[in-house]
Every structure is written in C-alpha cells, then in structure tokens.
C-alpha cells in the first residue's frame, strides 16, 4: 500500500530550479534513506511533504488519515517549562482525559445517590477505555524509554529555554518519536547524538511499525536502518531497493550501463549523420540530381530528429581536491599525558589519566556526551588548562586543528579574503586552490557569514591544506559534510603521513581510519587496538565487571587491548545452551516491557535486560575462542 505519492513536483529556490517534475512513491512500512549532496534539495522535499512549503507545480498525495512527524526547527515553549514538561506536551489530549477521570473520581467519592453514581461510573468507564486504548497508562514508560535511549535523562529537570541548540534538538527528536506518527521524517537525526544514542536510535527505528524517511550522511546508520535509497541528484530521483553500501555498488553498475547505452546511441547517431551526408552527396552528383536519394536523406534526417537523446552520465562528480601535506616530522613522542585531571565546578570529568601518542599513529577518542572528549582536545591545544598532572607535546610538533563548530574570525570577509588571511598567496593562486574545494567563480566573493556549516568546513580544510602541520587534531569533522565530502576527507587523512587525533561519533569514519581507540568512560580512559564493534563489546564487559564484581578501575591506568580469555574446560554445547537461555530471557523481558505500565517495574526490567545483554556478549566472545 502506498503511504505517499509525489507526482511531478517542481520547486525553484533563489531563481534556480532545485528539481522539475519529480515523481516517486513511498510504500507503507518502508524505511527510506534520502541521500544527495548538500544543497540538492533534500530538506526542501521534507518541507513540501509536511506542507511547510508548497510545490511550484505538481501534487503530493497521502494515504487517508496519515499522521506525519517532523522536527522542522527547534520548537518554542514558555520559559518556565522543563524538558520533561515539553516532552509531555505530546500527551496533552491524554492528560486532559486523565484530569477528567480524576475529577470524576472525586465526584464519585462524594456521591451517595445511586442513580447519579451510576451515571458517573458510566462516564468514567468511557473515559477510562479511551485513556487505555490510546496508551494513557504507558505515558511515563514511553517517555522513560525515549529519554534513556537518547541520553537526555539529565535534561528532563532543566528548563527547556536554558538548553543549548544541540540539547533542544535532542529533546525535539524525543517529541517526534513519542508522537509515533504513521510517517516519520528525520533530517540528520544523528548529528547531536553520541555513539550509544545513535546505536539505540538505529535499533529503535528497525523495530518502528510506521513508515520512515530519513536524511542522513551517516553511512553506517543508513546501512543499519534503511531498506530503500532515494538518491536526489541533478534534480532527478533514482530509486534503489537496498541499503547504502549496496546502493553504492548498484549506482556504479547503473552508470556504467547508462554510459554504454549513451556511447552506443552516439555511434548510431554519428553513423546516421554520415549516411545522410553521403546520400545527399550522391544525389547531387547525379545528372540530373537524384530526387529519390534526396527523399531518403530527408526521411533519415526526420528519424534522427525523433530519437530521444540520452544524457551523458557523469561517472565522476567534481570533488574537493584535498591533500594534506605533512610538515617536517615531529619527534617520536607527540603527546605525553601524566596523571592529568580536570573538573568543572563540582563535576569531575577525569582524574589522573595517563596516555601517550606517538608519531604516525591515528587515534580516535570515543565516549558518551559530557565525558570530556572535546575538553581533552582543548587541553592538548592549550585552550584550557590541566587541573593536575602534566600534559606536554613532543619536539617539533606543529598542530593543525579542525573543529566541528568552526567559526571564522571575520564573518564579513569574502571566502577569498578569509582564505588569504591564513594562506599568503596571490589572488590567482588562491582562486585556483579554492576551486579545488568547490568554490567556483563568483562563489569566492560570497561573505563567510552566508556559508552553510558544510561550506565553512570546506573553507577550513582549504586553509589546513597549506598550513605547516604534522599533528592534525579533528573534532567531529564529518558532522556538516555530505557523503562525497566525507569520502574525500577520509582519503586525505588516509594519505597524511603525520599523526592524527580525533573525536568522532561516525562509526564508518572510525573503522576506516583509526587503528587505536581511546574510550573515555566514567572518568577513566581505556585503549583498544581493534575496530569499533569489538572495542564496544570489550568495553561492555569491563563495565559489567565494574558493576557486578564492584571492581574499581583507577583512572590513572589505561586498559591495554583485552587479552583473549583462555578457554575454560567446558563444551561448546554448554556455552551455546547458556546463550539460548539468556536470549530467551531477553526476549521475555522485551515482551514484558512492551505492555508494562508501571514506571518502577519498567526500570527494573530495563536494568535486568542490560545485564543479560552484557552476559550474552561475554558468552559469544567465549564461544569465539573455541571456534577460532
């Protein structure tokens, strides 16, 4: 069944056509990834779907009674409302019914007349049935589930007006998820989430019963969630019934086929043109001129005019020409941290951390929001001080820094002026360099204040390319980049011969570039020399040991990659049987959590489930030892 149908819609923006006569359908229950370069019109499609904007022509049709959910912009609420109050606005109708029920309960307790009591009970029953049918008894449980998953529990008691833009966006995402719409529209939902929240959201969306369309540049997230890709490119939509990784392969195959068809048509057209030319030459050479040959030439010419010309497919889009050049190499020791500690007011971020980064290494710092990842980078950069301990850079270390919130110093400067503030080259040389970063022609005269987040990031990358650096520190560098720009950045970092230290929540980016993971958790720092998923499983086991065995892991020590446990003297069948038992218990808890209305019991089930999942991970790792 079709959830929504887009029929020949067109949209102009700033005098330019975003797309013309765009047509596609979204079927009920599908999970769609809408992808394309920044500025291609993805968000405009969302605004057309929600009615925020209207198409210049064409029509959009929805299944009758369909409820849409979309966070268009940060909502505004009265200053006195907490984040919890804001989330509860989703249940306004249910809360009105709940209030009516309470009023009826008071009336019933004070009524002695049987006939009046009977009418009140009948009225109460009607309200109660409506309250129950619409999930009234699950309001608190639903709110808790979303707040836990998105990691916004600590925001619930804070005034919504006092939150940062990123925090408001997370609460806004919570509102949309609590609405449980039939068609869920998500525009870059992972941008302000940490890794655990991104993974929770991916799992949540996989089980979501409605239809989903998501705009995302997070390739790992798209692979995990979607089963269909809509690619918006050059004002046209191409549909692929698969996840992102397979879409990349299928797109390449499609372009090659289209290019072959284009070349075949060009050969046919050229051959027809040559035949027409020869027929006319022969006709004119005859004495008298041959009218029949002229007719044949004219007939073939009309046939040529009727051919629907294929567009030449672009096999390789213009990408940023980005190559980082390493300055003279630094010494072997690049960063040395000895017993460093940092606190803000009453909150201890970390205490007595020790770590080292050596020349040529690529390390990424991961962990939940608020654990101090960006603070650690700022301490290395000298932007904030160490409370205790020593933090020093090695000899001849020259740092280049790329921040996720890059704010140019001179917002009224043009792109050209801002670039030349950092890179002292002639205007002609500067324009050539900027063209490599997709700033063509008049674009170099645009003011920096008018640039999007992704464009500002491109400008900063252009500056970094010509700076004298051998240690590159990057803080969430992929946040505002589209997929093509991310791939170019990854290639550039891969070819950089210096040392790289990054903070990132992008699992694809982490797995592609980094061999060392520093995991900042609960004031301690742990080191893993493996890909993210394995590090995550080992980190879960460490947490489980701390909780179940009350093991205290000092912040002054870094856990080396966990050694593989020695196989115990028990059968594979015993381990597999235990795994089955644990998985059955997890499945039972999932069923209980779906129907449980009591907040305390739900929290208990949730904690029990988390412990079982940790145990299950440990059992699988143990099983792996026997199989390896």
pLDDT at position 555: 36
Percent with pLDDT over 70 in the chain: 89
Structure tokens at 411: 């917002």
Measured distance CA(501)–CA(373) in Å, rounded: 11
pLDDT band at 551, cuts 50/70/90? Answer: very low
Indicate the Cα dihedral angle 81, 82, 86, 87, nearest 10°: -160
pLDDT band at 620, cuts 50/70/90? Answer: confident
What is the arrangement of strands in the sheet containing 228-233, beginning at the earlier edge strand?
A: 68-70, 183-187, 211-215, 31-35, 228-233, 236-240
- Going by their DSSP bridges, the two strands 471-475 and 499-503 should be labelled as parallel
Burial of 586 (0-12, 13-18, 19+ CB in 10 A): middle
> What pLDDT, in 10s, does the model give residues 259-275?
899 999 999 999 999 99
Per-residue pLDDT at 563 exceeds 80 = no
Burial of 54 (0-12, 13-18, 19+ CB in 10 A): exposed
Contact 344, 496 (CB under 8 A): no
Measured distance CA(594)–CA(207) in Å, rounded: 12
* Least confident stretch, 45-49, 162-166, 231-235, 297-301: 162-166
Alpha helices in 286-395 (DSSP H): 291-306, 373-381
How confident is the prediction for the chain on average, in pLDDT?
84
Measured distance CA(174)–CA(114) in Å, rounded: 46
Measured distance CA(441)–CA(436) in Å, rounded: 12
Helices 599-627 & 572-595, crossing angle to 10 degrees?
160
pLDDT at position 518: 93
What is the arrangement of strands in the sheet containing 499-503, beginning at the earlier edge strand?
A: 399-402, 471-475, 499-503, 362-366, 516-521, 524-528
Measured distance CA(407)–CA(523) in Å, rounded: 29
Contact 138, 108 (CB under 8 A): no
pLDDT band at 461, cuts 50/70/90? Answer: confident
Structure tokens at 196: 């655990």
Classify the phi-psi angles of 180: left when phi > 0, otherwise alpha if psi is within -120 to 50, otherwise beta.
Answer: left
Beta bridge partners of 12: 17
Spatial neighbors of 29 by CB under 8 A, at least 6 apart, are 3, 209, 210, 211
pLDDT at position 416: 92
Classify the phi-psi angles of 457: left when phi > 0, otherwise alpha if psi is within -120 to 50, otherwise beta.
Answer: alpha
pLDDT at position 41: 87
Measured distance CA(484)–CA(568) in Å, rounded: 48
Core vs surface per residue 170-182: b (16+ CB within 10 A) or e: bbbbbbbbbeebb
What's the pTM value of the predicted model, to 2 decimals?
0.74
Per-residue pLDDT at 566 exceeds 50 = no
DSSP sequence for 144-210: HHHHHHHT-GGGTTSBGGGS-HHHHHHHHHHHHHHH--SEEEEESTTTT--HHHHHHHHHHHHT--S
**Residue whose entry in the numeric block shows the structure tokens 């904007």:** 53
């Amino acid at each position: 069944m079709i959830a929504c149908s887009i029929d020949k819609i067109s949209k102009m923006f700033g005098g330019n056509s975003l797309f013309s006569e765009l047509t596609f359908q979204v079927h009920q229950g599908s999970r769609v990834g809408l992808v394309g370069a920044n500025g291609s019109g993805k968000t405009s499609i969302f605004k057309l779907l929600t009615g925020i904007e209207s198409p210049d022509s064409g029509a959009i049709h929805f299944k009758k009674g369909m409820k849409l959910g979309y966070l268009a912009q940060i909502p505004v609420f009265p200053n006195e409302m907490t984040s919890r109050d804001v989330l509860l606005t989703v249940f306004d109708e249910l809360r009105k019914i709940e209030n009516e029920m309470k009023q009826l309960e008071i009336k019933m307790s004070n009524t002695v007349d049987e006939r009046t009591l009977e009418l009140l009970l009948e009225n109460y029953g009607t309200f109660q049935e409506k309250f129950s049918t619409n999930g009234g008894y699950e309001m608190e449980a639903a709110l808790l589930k979303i707040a836990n998953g998105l990691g916004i529990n600590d925001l619930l008691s804070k005034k919504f007006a006092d939150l940062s833009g990123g925090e408001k966006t997370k609460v806004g995402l919570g509102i949309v998820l609590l609405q449980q719409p039939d068609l869920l529209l998500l525009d870059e939902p992972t941008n302000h989430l940490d890794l655990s929240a991104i993974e929770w959201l991916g799992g949540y969306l996989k089980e979501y019963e409605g239809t989903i369309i998501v705009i995302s540049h997070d390739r790992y997230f798209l692979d995990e969630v979607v089963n269909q890709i809509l690619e918006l490119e050059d004002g046209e939509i191409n549909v692929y019934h698969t996840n992102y990784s397979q879409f990349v392969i299928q797109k390449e195959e499609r372009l090659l086929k289209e290019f072959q068809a284009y070349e075949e048509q060009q050969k046919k057209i050229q051959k027809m043109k040559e035949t027409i030319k020869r027929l006319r030459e022969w006709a004119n050479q005859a004495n008298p001129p041959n009218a029949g040959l002229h007719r044949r030439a004219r007939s073939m010419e009309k046939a040529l005019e009727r051919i629907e010309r294929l567009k030449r497919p672009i096999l390789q889009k213009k990408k940023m020409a980005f190559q980082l050049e390493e300055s003279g190499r630094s010494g072997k020791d690049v960063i040395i941290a000895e017993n460093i500690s940092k606190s803000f007011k009453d909150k201890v971020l970390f205490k007595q951390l020790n770590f080292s980064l050596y020349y040529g290494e690529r390390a990424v710092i991961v962990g939940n929001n608020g654990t101090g990842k960006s603070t650690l980078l700022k301490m290395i950069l000298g932007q904030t001080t160490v409370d205790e301990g020593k933090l020093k850079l090695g000899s001849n270390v020259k740092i280049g820094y790329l921040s996720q919130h890059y704010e140019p110093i001179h917002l009224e400067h043009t792109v050209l002026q801002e670039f030349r503030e950092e890179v002292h080259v002639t205007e002609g040389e500067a324009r050539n360099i900027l063209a490599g970063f997709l700033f063509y022609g008049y674009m170099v005269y645009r003011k920096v204040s008018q640039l999007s987040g992704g464009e500002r990031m491109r400008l900063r990358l252009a500056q970094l390319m010509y700076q004298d650096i051998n240690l590159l520190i990057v803080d969430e560098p992929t946040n505002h980049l589209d997929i093509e720009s991310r791939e170019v950045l990854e290639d550039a970092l891969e070819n950089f011969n210096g040392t790289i230290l990054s903070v990132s929540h992008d699992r694809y980016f982490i797995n592609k570039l980094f061999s060392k993971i520093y995991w900042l958790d609960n004031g301690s720092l742990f080191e893993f020399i493996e890909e993210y998923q394995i590090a995550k499983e080992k980190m879960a086991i460490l947490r489980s040991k701390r909780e179940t065995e009350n093991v205290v892991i000092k912040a002054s020590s870094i856990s080396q990659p966990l050694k593989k446990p020695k196989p115990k003297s028990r059968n594979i069948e015993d381990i597999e049987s235990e795994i089955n038992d644990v998985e059955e218990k997890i499945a039972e808890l999932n069923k209980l959590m779906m129907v449980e209305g009591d907040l305390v019991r739900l929290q208990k089930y949730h904690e029990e489930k988390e412990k079982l999942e940790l145990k299950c991970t440990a059992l699988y790792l143990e099983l792996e030892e026997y199989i390896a």
